[in-house]
Each structure stands twice: as structure tokens, then as C-alpha cells.
């Protein structure tokens, strides 16, 4: 199939099962920035839930997304979920290291008419906005400079998307440039790179809540206005489970938690309702830029 204009988007299971805040904010921000996206169909699992159980199956699922996108003519596929983006890159790395893995996945693909010879390149929201608009272009589109100091929580999947390449640090610098363009400072704070606790939720909920609570407490004690996240798993731990997380560390004061595209959308003058802020459970209404 010849290349088609626009960009495919793979939402991942969390968005498709109810993470409306991320989907609404990504759609509205990209629409405002003039970036055209088309939902990839069919959607499927990215393979992350079974990564520790079956390497071949998890890589097959992740690479299948890239193959499906390419089969529809897309050179690139946007993955707003940090886990999905990580899995795509991790699987590509595994593929380059193992001829046996490549052979097994090629065989599985052949039954679906897919090929490892044509895969879309995975990109995340930070790369897309930085490349399509850039800090200066974003600054020129700002309707409402935010004037916030935020606790940025990039998350482990964002920082480790391509281990050993230094890409995590480069992308973190680009993310900070984008935030600066909309009037947001993102200083270092204690525990900035710490885990949100999400990876422990199924096995040690007490430890998971303590990690999340410690992150929220650090943001609050650093006198920062809110926490900004990129990953649905981090959002679930720090926003949806915030009350329990704070209780785990003996805290009561809530911390507003926003997705990155929600923050960008506010600066672009988009109505909070269109950014899905009513679905956030943390006290986002405390932020003057939301009211």
C-alpha cells in the first residue's frame, strides 16, 4: 500500500478501557496544533502485561501494531501511552539481537499477511509536538501563559524507552523546552525520577501506595503547583489512587495531577471540559488556570 498522509495513533488498553482524560486531551491538543491523526484499527494489546512471561509473544504483539500501521500505509504511529511506546522500541531492540525471534515472529505474521520488512516507526507525544511545532511554534500559539512551577514526573517508561542510547535524557530536555514555551518551569525536586509504584500494584499494594504517596509528598513539600505525568499507569497511581497514597505516608493535602496534553491544552486556550479535566480525581480545580 502506498504511503498515506497523516499519522496513525495506537491508544492502548488503558485509554480504550476508560482513560478518557488522556484521549480527549491528546485529540484536542493535536487538532489545535493542526496535526492530523487516524485511529489505528484494529487496536490490540501492546504485549507489556506478558513481557515477563513470554518474550516472543510480547514482542509479537508489540511489533504487530507497527506492522498493522505500516500495512495501512502509515510511516509512523503515535503511541500516547508510555508503556506502548516502550514496548515497541524494546521489541525492535530484541528483534535486532535475535534471529530466532525474528524467524518466529515472521512466521506468525505470515498468517495475517503482515511482514517484518515493513514496520511503522513508533513516536510519542513529546517527539511529535517537538518536531511538528517546536518550542517556538508552540510559544506563538499560547493563548494563556500558565506561569506554573510543576513537579514533572517523566516516568520510567519514558526515560528508558531506548536503553543505552541516552534518548531519555535528550527527550527530557525537549520536554522541558516545550513546558518552558507555555510558561511552565519544571525544576528538579527530591524523588523526581522515583517510581510511581504502579509496577508493584498487583503484588505489593502497600509498597505501591507508599511510593506514590512519597512522590506526592515530595511535590507538595517542594511548593510546586501540580504534578505533571505522561503515563497512564502513573496517572492511575498519582491521581485516581491519590487519597490512599497520601494516607499511606500520613499526608492529607491533595496535589493536582495533570496529563502533559492537559497542561499544554490549557496554555493553548482550550476549555478545560474539552481536555477531560472533569475526569481527574485529584484537586485540579485548585489551579487558577483551570478555573
Q: Are residues 98 and 20 in the same domain?
A: yes
171 pLDDT band, cuts 50/70/90, is very high
Provide the pLDDT for residue 277: 98
Kindly report the CATH number assigned to the domain that includes residue 18. 1.20.1050.140
Residues of the domain holding 73: 7-123
Provide the pLDDT for residue 3: 56
Q: Are residues 141 and 119 in the same domain?
A: no
Provide the pLDDT for residue 57: 96
Rounded-to-integer distance, Cα 30 and Cα 93, Å? 29
Which of these three, 69, 89, 123, is where a domain ends? 123
4 pLDDT band, cuts 50/70/90, is low
Comparing C-alpha atoms, which of 251, 250, 249, 226 is closest to residue 239? 226
Segment 129-154 shows an average pLDDT of 97
pLDDT for residue 165 is more than 80? no
pLDDT 10s digits, 207-240: 999 999 999 999 999 999 999 999 999 999 999 9
**Does residue 128 fall inside a structural domain?**
no
Q: Are residues 156 and 253 in the same domain?
A: yes
Provide the pLDDT for residue 42: 87
Q: Are residues 209 and 151 in the same domain?
A: yes
pTM over 0.85: yes
Provide the pLDDT for residue 10: 97
CA of 2: how far to CAs of 37, 90, 136, 138, in Å? 17, 27, 33, 31
pLDDT 10s digits, 87-102: 999 999 999 999 999 9
Provide the pLDDT for residue 168: 84
Q: Are residues 145 and 278 in the same domain?
A: yes
Q: Are residues 147 and 255 in the same domain?
A: yes
pLDDT for residue 241 is more than 60? yes
Provide the pLDDT for residue 65: 97
Q: Are residues 114 and 182 in the same domain?
A: no
Q: Are residues 158 and 93 in the same domain?
A: no
Q: Are residues 119 and 139 in the same domain?
A: no
pLDDT 10s digits, 20-55: 999 999 999 999 999 999 999 988 899 999 998 999
Q: Are residues 97 and 231 in the same domain?
A: no
Rounded-to-integer distance, Cα 193 and Cα 153, Å? 7
Rounded-to-integer distance, Cα 71 and Cα 6, Å? 14
Provide the pLDDT for residue 44: 87
Answer whether 210's CB lies under 8 Å from 248's CB. yes
Q: Are residues 107 and 172 in the same domain?
A: no
Q: Are residues 238 and 113 in the same domain?
A: no
**Does residue 152 fall inside a structural domain?**
yes
pLDDT 10s digits, 52-78: 899 999 999 999 999 999 999 999 999
pLDDT for residue 117 is more than 70? yes
Number of domains in the chain: 2
Kindly report the CATH number assigned to the domain that includes residue 228. 3.40.50.11810
Which of these three, 123, 156, 174, is where a domain ends? 123
Which of these three, 67, 100, 123, is where a domain ends? 123
Q: Hey, what's the cell of 266?
A: 490549557
Amino acid at each position: 500500500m502506498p504511503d498515506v498522509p497523516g499519522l496513525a495513533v495506537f491508544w492502548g488498553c488503558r485509554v480504550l478501557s476508560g482513560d478518557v482524560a488522556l484521549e480527549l486531551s491528546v485529540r484536542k491538543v493535536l487538532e489545535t496544533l493542526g496535526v492530523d491523526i487516524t485511529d489505528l484499527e484494529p487496536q490490540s494489546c501492546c504485549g507489556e502485561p506478558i513481557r515477563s512471561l513470554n518474550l516472543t509473544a510480547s514482542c509479537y504483539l508489540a511489533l504487530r501494531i507497527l506492522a498493522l500501521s505500516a500495512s495501512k500505509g502509515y510511516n509512523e504511529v503515535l503511541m500516547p501511552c508510555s508503556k506502548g511506546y516502550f514496548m515497541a522500541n524494546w521489541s525492535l531492540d530484541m528483534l535486532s539481537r535475535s534471529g530466532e525471534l525474528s524467524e518466529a515472529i515472521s512466521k506468525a505474521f505470515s498468517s495475517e499477511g503482515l511482514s517484518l520488512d515493513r514496520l511503522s516507526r513508533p513516536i510519542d507525544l513529546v517527539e511529535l509536538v517537538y518536531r511538528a511545532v517546536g518550542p517556538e511554534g508552540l510559544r506563538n500559539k499560547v493563548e494563556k501563559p500558565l506561569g506554573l512551577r510543576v513537579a514533572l514526573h517523566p516516568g520510567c517508561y519514558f526515560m528508558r524507552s531506548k536503553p543505552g542510547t541516552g534518548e531519555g535524557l535528550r527527550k527530557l530536555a525537549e520536554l522541558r523546552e516545550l513546558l518552558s514555551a507555555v510558561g511552565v518551569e519544571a525544576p528538579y525536586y527530591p524523588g523526581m525520577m522515583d517510581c510511581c509504584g504502579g509496577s508493584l500494584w498487583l503484588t505489593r499494594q502497600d509498597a505501591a501506595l507508599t511510593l506514590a504517596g512519597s512522590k506526592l509528598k515530595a511535590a507538595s513539600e517542594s511548593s510546586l503547583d501540580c504534578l505533571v505525568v505522561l503515563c497512564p499507569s502513573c496517572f492511575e497511581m498519582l491521581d485516581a489512587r491519590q487519597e490512599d497514597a497520601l494516607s499511606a505516608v500520613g499526608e492529607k493535602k491533595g496535589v493536582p495531577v495533570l496529563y502533559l496534553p492537559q497542561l499544554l491544552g490549557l496554555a493553548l486556550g482550550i476549555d478545560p471540559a474539552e481536555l477531560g479535566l472533569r475526569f481527574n480525581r485529584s484537586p485540579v480545580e485548585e489551579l487558577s488556570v483551570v478555573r
